Amino acid sequence: MGLMSGKRVVIFGVANKRSIAWGIAQAILREGGQLALNYQNDRMEESVRKLAADLPSDTFLAPCDVTVEGDIQKFFTKLGADFGPIDGLVHSIAFAKREELGGQFIDTSWDGYQLAQHVSAWSLIGLAKGAMPLMEGRDGSIVCLSYYGAEKVVTNYNVMGVAKAALEASTRYLANDIGPRGIRVNAISAGPIKTVSAMGVADFGTLLETMAQKAPLRRNIDQGDVGNTAAFLLSDLARGITGQTIYVDAGYSIMGM
């Protein structure tokens, strides 16, 4: 019996095979879980449907753009009707304009700031609220994806660092709010991984090189490393853990000089 046997998890953020969300989906399936996925919009639908074609036939799939008014509610209404109750929610989405992910932080626009916060931080609250009724009485677990730039300055990460700081704080506030209902909320702070979103950060290659040279494990991490940790946090093995940010970064974050 797998770690996720009997667990039903909705994952937001699969765009392609490189997505961290896809690594998480693979780990959940391997451990015997059942999946529901979103795709962001019409443009993403075809690629996500192609990926989903290789998944078990009971996999649920529906659109949801977290910035579109009513989309979150529509998604969970359909999920409740067609898929039923859930035990887990994975938030693996983020967005900032390319021009905000390079140059000086002081040049951050209000528009760019709002958009980064909306997609990358507020959406955790929106999705958690949407998921709550479907998790009622099921000891649910929510997992989101953060990065070291939330707590330390990482060149070019800029507005996304502030959004991730909000995401990690939201993880703690949500954990306190919904803990009494048996639902846990944790963040994974993942090391850099080459994905479509990551390539939007100027000079991203330097982050990968630095990590491989300086991290205690002297390597980069991959989607599988994050997927395994997510499966653990979603499983009953982690039933005593909530409100935490767990590092999956080959140890990079412990280093000083």
Ligand X SMILES: NC(=O)c1ccc[n+]([C@@H]2O[C@H](COP(=O)([O-])OP(=O)(O)OC[C@H]3O[C@@H](n4cnc5c(N)ncnc54)[C@H](O)[C@@H]3O)[C@@H](O)[C@H]2O)c1
- Minimum distance from CB of 195 to ligand X (Å)? 3
Point out which residues bind ligand X (CB under 6 A). Answer: 13-15, 18-21, 40, 44, 65-67, 92-95, 119, 145-147, 190, 192-193, 195-198
CB closer to ligand X, 10 vs 93:
93
CA 252 from centre of chain: 20
Contact 92/19 with Cβ under 8 angstroms? yes
- Minimum distance from CB of 14 to ligand X (Å)? 6
Catalytic residue among 147, 148, 247, 252: 147
CB closer to ligand X, 132 vs 198:
198
CB closer to ligand X, 92 vs 117:
92
CB closer to ligand X, 127 vs 175:
127
Whether 147 is a known active-site residue: answer yes
- Minimum distance from CB of 92 to ligand X (Å)? 4
Whether 252 is a known active-site residue: answer no
| Diameter over CA atoms, the chain | 54
Catalytic residue among 39, 113, 148, 157: 157
- Minimum distance from CB of 140 to ligand X (Å)? 20
Strands (E) in the chain, as ranges, are: 8-12, 34-39, 60-63, 88-91, 141-146, 184-190, 245-248
Pick the closest to residue 130 from 60, 80, 187, 180 (CA basis). Answer: 80
Residue 57: count of CB within 10 angstroms of its CB: 6
User: And the tokens for 115?
Assistant: 């958009």
d(CA 163, CA 94): 9
Residue positions annotated with a catalytic role: 147, 157
